[in-house]
Chains A and B, each alone.
Chain A
Amino acid sequence: DGGITQSPKYLFRKEGQNVTLSCEQNLNHDAMYWYRQDPGQGLRLIYYSQIVNDFQKGDIAEGYSVSREKKESFPLTVTSAQKNPTAFYLCASTPAKGSGEKLFFGSGTQLSVL
């Protein structure tokens, strides 16, 4: 079945540690996105990529980094510079760049700080 796979489902980060969240899609979609969800704040865009080897900052990119070396993969690294990383992280994709495209979502990763 085609879809978006996020792993792990739960992740714990120690002080000063970088952690990487995985996102893989087999939908052959060009565009991929990372959103952060906090209680009562909805979804906020961290980074997005519309083509391999290219990505753009979203609204809350500070403390995060991404790469897009393959079309299917868009990993997100939460660096030690992100002081409040506890949140639910959602990866999404769309067939192509542009407004009006509906997003396909993964099942998310819950990141917590130890």
Chain B
Amino acid sequence: AQKVTQAQTEISVVEKEDVTLDCVYETRDTTYYLFWYKQPPSGELVFLIRRNSFDEQNEISGRYSWNFQKSTSSFNFTITASQVVDSAVYFCALSEWGADKLIFGTGTRLQVFP
């Protein structure tokens, strides 16, 4: 069965702190895709990154970085030098090869205080 676990329900940090959001997934497939989405207070989910199971390279995009480790079935997301605008709910999601849908985790609410 496929499953995505985001154990951190809510995280609060002060601006400029680094923060890591954890994501652990379960799947029997060898081919799958992992995603991160951001949901700001406006409600619309915004795509951040997609990774396929054959690409374990870490990725950095500005203050954002992602650490994909198949050995621990994790796809963690780090925000460096957090800002108030980073305050949002962040979702990790999984799609198995050939599947028609994404399976979402329960989300992590990040609050960044000035």
Residues in A lying within 8 Å of B, measured CB to CB = 31, 33, 35, 40-45, 48, 50, 56, 58, 88, 90, 92, 97-100, 102-108
Contact = CB atoms under 8 A, between A and B. Distances in A.
A105 B33 CA distance: 18
Interface stretch (B40-48, B64-72, B75-83): B40-48
Which 3 interchain pairs have the tightest Cβ spacing? Answer: A108-B43, A42-B106, A105-B45
Interface residue SS majority, chain A: strand
Interface residues of B, number: 27
Contacts of B101: 33, 45, 48, 58
B45 A100 contact: no
A48 B100 contact: yes
A31 B99 CA distance: 13
Interface string B26-70: 000000110101000011111100101000000000000000000
5 contacts: A42-B106, A90-B45, A99-B32, A102-B35, A108-B44
Contacts, number: 61
Contacts of B37: 103, 105
Contact of B96 (A35, A99, A104, A108): A99
A35 B45 CA distance: 11
Contacts of A35: 104
A102 B33 CA distance: 10
B105 A102 contact: no
Contacts of A50: 100
